[in-house]
Copies of this chain bind each other. A is one copy, B any other.
Amino acid sequence: MKKEMFVHEITVLRDTFRRLLRRHAKTNLIKLIQKTHPADLAVLFRYFSDTEQTTLFGYMIEDVHTAEVMVELDESIVSNLLEREDPTRIVRIFQELGSNDQADILNLLSEEKVQSVLDLMKEEEQEEVEEILAYPEDSAGSLMSTDVFTLHEETSAEEAIRSLQDHEDAEMVFYLYITNDDGGLIGVISLRDLVTTPPEVRLKDIMAKHVHSVRPETDQEEVAHIVSQYNYLAIPVVDSDDHILGIVTVDDVVDVIREEATEDFLQMAGAGKDREILLKSSWDNARARLPWLFASWIGGIVAAYIIGAFEHVLEATMALAAFIPVIIGMGGNVGTQSSTIVVRGLATGRVNIGDDLKLILKETSVGLILGGLYGLLLGVFAVFKFLDTSPYLGLVVGLSICASMLIATFIGTLVPLLLRKLDVDPAIATGPFVTTSIDILGVALYFLIAISILPVG
């Protein structure tokens, strides 16, 4: 219900923007842009053509609002807009952004453009951005905000509150991080606790001494895991000397969780890992999906060779051909179920460490139960449908379904577990891989079972 309301609001806004764009109503557009929430503008931009996007961006003043819109916009839209933009204007917008947001945006631009923007920045800011750009992509370092609010352990509660007033820049302050003489992180206190502390009390006497922190090179998925596991609102990023480099806040973690889930979805289906695939052209879209389909194509060729090799069996019992789709289809589907359960279990931590064998046994017994049941059903069907063929056809088909589903659950479980052991993302194209394996193994088993049971004429 509420969802429809949100959708409705966006639709109304979109139509208003379009009407004003058609009329070239610049003044009204400028007003409307400023009245619209940056996050909403980011959604709206997806509806506009390249030209409309450029027009609107041209109307935007280089203020905080515009800077926030840049942060919220889809990456491909940002790179489209800024790649064509004058570097001086980019730098003006950058003045309203923290170094981490600046780095995020620069990461989307061509080397040439990045250089021209960096050249225009103040030396100090430039250094800060370059430091962040040096962290690996998808690491805590590239995710963190460097405007952190730290206080010395000897500070009193009263002084702490006063110094808050001087640091309006510091992002999302709900935890205050406490440092010792060496500048090392030694404690944390929530703003809430600070407020309710008598003014003269020193921070070191009220702070929590166990602070969970991550290193700048920690993978963002691990950061998200810790933050969501312990319900944190932020987590500090520290160097090897425990100096705070920045914090990763929960709103960024929410984005990471969404993005990682989307990437896993796409990867499992063998559709690349570009979250903005819908914004890309059909060509780019096809290119991302091409390689995984090639694996499936090779699998199909192998299956064709196998069937070709058993042509004499087929000639003797033509009815065998009729059951090829259901045998590989059901194997593929049950295998995809297994790999989905395991891949998602690995991502959410529900797959226990060291229990791989138990998991494989469990999934294969599911395969046996389902394979037995559907094998029986299909076997009976095969007998009645092809009464004129060999009475053993039902047995062949039933056993083959069972074998195919058993193997499918085994492969579907094994593949993601193996990939994880090899430190590869378990989601990567498990879908096509599992279905392709079943295309080959299912067909091979089917004909092997057929020649051992059926009389070959």
Q: Determine if B195 and A439 form an interchain contact, defined as CB atoms under 8 angstroms apart.
A: no
Q: Interface 1/0s, chain A 228-253, versus B by CB < 8 A?
A: 11110100000000000000001101
Given A2-B215, A192-B173, A300-B378: A228 touches B258 (CB 8 Å cut-off): yes
Q: Determine if A307 and B333 form an interchain contact, defined as CB atoms under 8 angstroms apart.
A: no
A336 an interface residue at 8 Å Cβ cutoff? yes
Q: Determine if A322 and B350 form an interchain contact, defined as CB atoms under 8 angstroms apart.
A: no
A192 neighbours in B (Cβ, 8 Å): 164, 173-174, 191
Q: Determine if B315 and A318 form an interchain contact, defined as CB atoms under 8 angstroms apart.
A: yes
Q: Determine if B297 and A377 form an interchain contact, defined as CB atoms under 8 angstroms apart.
A: yes
A366 neighbours in B (Cβ, 8 Å): 282, 285-286, 289
Stretch of A26-34, A100-108, A261-269 at the chain-chain interface: A261-269
Given A174-B191, A349-B43: A324 touches B324 (CB 8 Å cut-off): yes
Given A278-B351, A374-B297, A385-B308: A165 touches B332 (CB 8 Å cut-off): no
A222 neighbours in B (Cβ, 8 Å): 2-3, 6
A293 an interface residue at 8 Å Cβ cutoff? yes
Q: Interface 1/0s, chain A 356-396, versus B by CB < 8 A?
A: 00010010011001100110011001100110000000000
Most B CB atoms within 10 A — which of A164, A222, A322?
A322
- The A interface is mostly helix, strand or loop, or mixed, namely helix
**Whole-angstrom CA separation of A2 from B382 in the bound complex:** 54
Q: Report the minimal beta-carbon distance from A285 to chain B, rounded to whole angstroms.
A: 5
**Whole-angstrom CA separation of A198 from B269 in the bound complex:** 57
A271 an interface residue at 8 Å Cβ cutoff? yes
Stretch of A58-66, A80-88, A124-132, A428-436 at the chain-chain interface: A428-436
Q: Determine if A254 and B266 form an interchain contact, defined as CB atoms under 8 angstroms apart.
A: no
Most B CB atoms within 10 A — which of A161, A230, A326?
A326
Q: Determine if A325 and B229 form an interchain contact, defined as CB atoms under 8 angstroms apart.
A: no
Q: Determine if B257 and A341 form an interchain contact, defined as CB atoms under 8 angstroms apart.
A: no
A329 touches which of B161, B269, B435 (Cβ 8 Å): B435
In A312-338, the 8 Å CB interface with B consists of 314-315, 318-319, 321-330, 332-334, 336-337
A285 neighbours in B (Cβ, 8 Å): 362, 366
Given A195-B161, A219-B2, A369-B283: A348 touches B385 (CB 8 Å cut-off): no
Q: Determine if A330 and B300 form an interchain contact, defined as CB atoms under 8 angstroms apart.
A: yes
Q: Report the minimal beta-carbon distance from A317 to chain B, rounded to whole angstroms.
A: 11
Given A293-B370, A324-B321, A370-B293: A340 touches B307 (CB 8 Å cut-off): no
Q: Interface 1/0s, chain A 167-186, versus B by CB < 8 A?
A: 01000111000000000000
**Whole-angstrom CA separation of A353 from B5 in the bound complex:** 13
**Whole-angstrom CA separation of A229 from B36 in the bound complex:** 13
Further 9 A-B residue pairs, CB within 8 A, beyond A164-B192, A265-B340, A269-B337: A2-B215, A39-B231, A43-B349, A228-B254, A264-B265, A266-B340, A279-B350, A308-B319, A329-B436
Q: List 18 A-B contacts (CB under 8 A).
A: A6-B222, A37-B230, A258-B348, A262-B348, A265-B344, A268-B340, A269-B333, A278-B345, A279-B350, A282-B365, A293-B333, A296-B333, A299-B329, A303-B326, A325-B439, A326-B439, A329-B332, A329-B439
Residues of chain A at the chain B interface (Cβ within 8 Å): 1-3, 6-7, 10-11, 37, 39, 43, 46-47, 161, 164-165, 168, 172-174, 191-192, 195-196, 214-215, 217-219, 221-223, 225-231, 233, 250-251, 253-255, 257-258, 261-262, 264-266, 268-271, 275-279, 282-283, 285-286, 289-290, 292-293, 296-297, 299-301, 303-305, 307-308, 311, 314-315, 318-319, 321-330, 332-334, 336-337, 340-341, 343-345, 348-355, 359, 362, 365-366, 369-370, 373-374, 377-378, 381-382, 385-386, 431-432, 435-436, 439, 443
